[in-house]
């Protein structure tokens, strides 16, 4: 070391000036619950099952999403639409049971891409934490978006 380095003072002064400069810099912190950073437009969060404008379920239980799913998180059971249920289901076949295991899901969005009926979408909600495994298996009722007409009447 040279003498200048040995007495440490110049280096210490340099260091102190750097930290002093940081006092006046903008803080990088986002105070989370009050401030939230916007999600990026391609963010893939929790799934929703879509309804059409009249509030009918769009899903026709074709199974393409389950097929596309690389994590094999989706299971479904199909059922025939009976007469009189036209206001509930859009197509002639519908999903009687639709489950996504959120512990398996990797949020890749392939199900969204595979769906021919625009029935499944990945929303901008982060998956909430829970205490037991069984709460991570999301049923159809958990996934379906609120009925647009019932929602209006409720309001």
Under 8 Å between Cβ of 49 and 61: no
User: Of the ranges 10-18, 40-48, 53-61, 97-105, which one interacts with other proteins (CB under 8 A)?
Assistant: 10-18
Nearest to 88 by CA among 51, 120, 63: 51
Under 8 Å between Cβ of 57 and 119: yes
* Out of 4, 5, 10, 12, the residue judged to bind other proteins by CB under 8 A: 12
* Out of 3, 26, 128, 154, the residue judged to bind other proteins by CB under 8 A: 26
Using the minimum distance from each CB to other proteins, give the nearer residue, 31 or 132: 31
Pairing verdict, β 74-80 and 47-49: unpaired
* Out of 8, 79, 97, 124, the residue judged to bind other proteins by CB under 8 A: 8
Which tokens hold the place of 89? Answer: 């289901």
Nearest to 149 by CA among 56, 50, 55, 51: 55
Using the minimum distance from each CB to other proteins, give the nearer residue, 22 or 36: 22
User: Of the ranges 20-28, 86-94, 104-112, 113-121, which one interacts with other proteins (CB under 8 A)?
Assistant: 20-28
Q: Does 37 bind other proteins (CB under 8 A)?
A: no
User: From the CB of 18, what's the least distance to other proteins, in Å?
Assistant: 7
List, in sequence order, every residue forming a beta bridge with 95; answer none if it has no partner: 78
Beta strand segments in 31-108, E:
47-49, 74-80, 93-101
Q: Does 134 bind other proteins (CB under 8 A)?
A: no
What does the alpha-carbon distance between residue 107 and residue 115 come to, in Å, rounded to a whole number? 15
Q: Does 36 bind other proteins (CB under 8 A)?
A: no
Q: Enumerate binding residues for other proteins (CB under 8 A).
A: 6-8, 12, 15-16, 18-20, 22-23, 25-29, 31
């Amino acid at each position: 070391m040279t003498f200048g380095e040995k007495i440490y003072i110049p280096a210490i002064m340099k260091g102190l000036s750097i930290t002093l400069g940081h006092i006046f810099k903008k803080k990088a912190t986002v105070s989370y619950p009050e401030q939230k950073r916007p999600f990026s437009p391609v963010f893939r969060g929790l799934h929703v099952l879509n309804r059409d404008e009249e509030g009918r379920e769009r899903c026709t239980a074709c199974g393409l999403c389950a097929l596309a799913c690389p994590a094999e998180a989706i299971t479904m059971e199909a059922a025939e639409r009976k007469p009189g249920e036209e206001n509930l289901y859009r197509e002639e076949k519908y999903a009687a049971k639709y489950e996504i295991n959120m512990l398996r899901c990797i949020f890749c969005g392939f199900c969204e891409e595979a769906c021919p009926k625009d029935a499944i979408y990945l929303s901008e909600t982060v998956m909430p934490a829970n205490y037991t495994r069984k709460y991570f298996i999301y049923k159809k009722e958990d996934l379906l978006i609120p009925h647009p007409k019932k929602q209006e009447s409720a309001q």
